[in-house]
Structure 1
């Protein structure tokens, strides 16, 4: 049992009002003897006892009525009532014909089970096979689409192709951690951009769009140098050391080479704040600012969602640097495939204390208030109190 607005429980102090009124009305008067007192019917004394009993019952009803009203305003959440409800499962489908066709069976099964299926776009329209809704999906508004989901949902399923163009932001927030269903689609072009590592190895994208080390002859239309110049604007020494360690990890895993240059010669710049840069450069923002992702900048950490401390604790700084870096070098429109593990790192569950919990006892309390009010009015009119 929880209270949504516990501060309103101070209203229970109002119970003292009907109690004080009852005590005031029940004050004994001064007994005055008169000549005919001895001739009074003794049953009159007995009826006075029943009157006092009804007055006490009326007092109890008024106290209970006041408690019910305060409970209604404070919002009572009873967990026992939630356990009897049917699980609410939501399926979110990116508005693409390929997904509708590939996951047709799964989506039909979900609909038959009474589960909710939406197109993942503005206003979350109901899913209908082969009917792509309008307006079209906009990646920059993806978090806005997620915000329209009921906070009391029990399970979320997301159907997508699994490319970086679909999930452009660094982090997304949902009431529950989602289950991903990614289409088996070959992303192209897969060999237009490669990095020369040595005479036998090169770094490029496979047919699924995943960045890998590969061997063999390079038949790419365009070769990119494996030496990547970077520059650090003035920042905290500890943060700079963390960034250098992340670049070193990328070198060890992927075989790329980073070289520190001045701000003019460097392609990638690291700064704690957003600043103007040339059109051929890319800026990584290290300060805890509002998330930004475009063709020329990317926020590594930002307050309220993924702070710098959480970034280091989870050990995902190298990957967060590499993804937008490859996007910039390979071309902003390259549809890079991302795995389920990479995708899951972008999603976070909204903390329980930030979810708007709704009281689930309103109906019961309203019925109780009506019953108590009816009984209280009946006794009041009967005794003219």
Structure 2
């Protein structure tokens, strides 16, 4: 048995309180002179003191209640109930021929060992033969997250087999079990044509060969770029949130992003009807999105219907979002900007740092068995308190 809040176990020391109170009431009192006592017999004047059996049971009951309360607030967990014998390996494979060919040895070895292997599809189909690819070849980050949620089990080790390209970063993050291993291959095609932004002061914003967002007076001559920019002029953003804390957080992140890359983003808190916004960040539902505008909607769990609308399940505040707590919000906003303006080709591989940021390990959820045990402890505690009150009132103790 383990405790989530073991410090509260010091509360067991409070068991001395009912003991002290009990013996305080049992001590001999001081005799007070009273005229009528001279008519009473001597034996009737002797108070009956000492520890009675009933009072002793009441004392034990009160001490047990204190101990039970300390154990209850310490939140015990019983890891021994229903614990699997060993860790189970689960393999999740992107339905792609190059992925299968590259990891054929690992997949065939897993099949020989009888380990569970699945395709990352809408139905999360069981893989029996690596040569037979499923009919559905569409692969997105949201589809990958859905398959992971289906296969995530207690005490399991998840192995992911993927093609490393920028398509993975369509979602702000991908939650994986605490025990996971990533097997990724890099696309090896010819150098793709890139896009860039034309900023004020004749600065150009693009992604350099190191897969980093940068700007300069001229484009990198070793890369291939489109003849015209994807966007020209200053960037305008509308930040419209009902939650003032979230609004201040977003504004600060945009200012940090703008300062680092010299973007000169103009941020409006209230909508200007005469301004065509390049970026709208809000916690309200988007109706009829403008195709060239990037929308970021927080606190919504929905499947995007437009490529320029991004939904974040979490509200972007330090209390609710890990991106904000870890200081990664400006970086993620920059990734959203890169994807919207297609500054990085879809076949461009992610860096190791980006992969580590994208995949967020999460602890396994608590089993229901310890929760039921704690509920029973709470039920016993309430019953004992009721019995103690009944005995105390009956004996006037």
Shorter-normalised TM-score: what interval? 0.5 to 0.7
User: Whose RCO is larger (CA < 8 A, sep 6+)?
Assistant: 1
1:97 matched to which residue of 2? 97
1:225–1:219 CA distance, 2 compared to 1 (3 A): farther
1:298 aligns with 2:310: yes
1:135 matched to which residue of 2? 136
Kindly indicate whether the alpha-carbon contact (under 8 Å) linking 1:193 and 1:204 is maintained by their aligned counterparts in 2.
yes
Q: Deviations over 1:345-383 (max 9, x none)?
A: 34445554455669xxxxxxxxxxxxxxxxxxxxxxxxx
1:199–1:283 CA distance, 2 compared to 1 (3 A): closer
1:260 aligns with 2:267: yes
1:211 Cα offset (Å): 4.2
1:289 Cα offset (Å): 2.4
2:107 matched to which residue of 1? 107
1:237–1:199 CA distance, 2 compared to 1 (3 A): closer
The 3-state SS of whatever aligns with 1:160 is: strand
1:177 Cα offset (Å): 4.4
1:298 Cα offset (Å): 1.6
Report the Cα distance in structure 2 between the residues aligned to 1:343 and 1:144, rounded to whole angstroms: 18
Choose which of 214, 230, 234 in structure 2 pairs with 1:227. 234
1:183–1:208 CA distance, 2 compared to 1 (3 A): farther
Report the Cα distance in structure 1 between the residues aligned to 2:352 and 2:307, rounded to whole angstroms: 24
Report the Cα distance in structure 2 between the residues aligned to 1:88 and 1:105, rounded to whole angstroms: 19
Choose which of 162, 165, 171 in structure 2 pairs with 1:163. 165
What TM-score do you get using the length of structure 1 for normalisation?
0.60
1:145 matched to which residue of 2? 147
The 3-state SS of whatever aligns with 1:321 is: helix
Report the Cα distance in structure 1 between the residues aligned to 2:320 and 2:351, rounded to whole angstroms: 23
Q: Greater CA deviation, 349-358 or 295-304? A: 349-358
Kindly indicate whether the alpha-carbon contact (under 8 Å) linking 1:151 and 1:355 is maintained by their aligned counterparts in 2.
no
1:250–1:303 CA distance, 2 compared to 1 (3 A): closer
1:237–1:243 CA distance, 2 compared to 1 (3 A): same
1:119 aligns with 2:131: no
1:308–1:320 CA distance, 2 compared to 1 (3 A): farther
1:94 Cα offset (Å): 0.4
2:283 matched to which residue of 1? 272
1:151 Cα offset (Å): 0.9
1:233 Cα offset (Å): 2.6
1:326 Cα offset (Å): 1.8
1:245–1:179 CA distance, 2 compared to 1 (3 A): same
1:255–1:107 CA distance, 2 compared to 1 (3 A): farther
Report the Cα distance in structure 2 between the residues aligned to 1:346 and 1:291, rounded to whole angstroms: 19
Choose which of 321, 327, 350 in structure 2 pairs with 1:315. 327
Report the Cα distance in structure 1 between the residues aligned to 2:265 and 2:364, rounded to whole angstroms: 42
1:165–1:127 CA distance, 2 compared to 1 (3 A): farther
2:296 matched to which residue of 1? 284
1:195 Cα offset (Å): 3.0
2:246 matched to which residue of 1? 239
Report the Cα distance in structure 1 between the residues aligned to 2:135 and 2:174, rounded to whole angstroms: 23
| Unaligned residue ranges in structure 2 (runs of 5+) | 3-76, 371-397
Kindly indicate whether the alpha-carbon contact (under 8 Å) linking 1:157 and 1:179 is maintained by their aligned counterparts in 2.
yes
The 3-state SS of whatever aligns with 2:266 is: strand
1:112 Cα offset (Å): 4.5
1:207–1:160 CA distance, 2 compared to 1 (3 A): farther
Report the Cα distance in structure 2 between the residues aligned to 1:126 and 1:77, rounded to whole angstroms: 35
Report the Cα distance in structure 2 between the residues aligned to 1:240 and 1:208, rounded to whole angstroms: 32
The 3-state SS of whatever aligns with 1:159 is: strand
1:258–1:201 CA distance, 2 compared to 1 (3 A): closer
1:185 aligns with 2:197: no
Kindly indicate whether the alpha-carbon contact (under 8 Å) linking 1:165 and 1:335 is maintained by their aligned counterparts in 2.
yes
1:111–1:257 CA distance, 2 compared to 1 (3 A): farther
The 3-state SS of whatever aligns with 1:257 is: coil
What TM-score do you get using the length of structure 2 for normalisation?
0.58
| Unaligned residue ranges in structure 1 (runs of 5+) | 3-75, 359-385
1:266–1:161 CA distance, 2 compared to 1 (3 A): same
Q: Deviations over 1:13-38 (max 9, x none)?
A: xxxxxxxxxxxxxxxxxxxxxxxxxx
2:255 matched to which residue of 1? 248
1:79 Cα offset (Å): 2.6
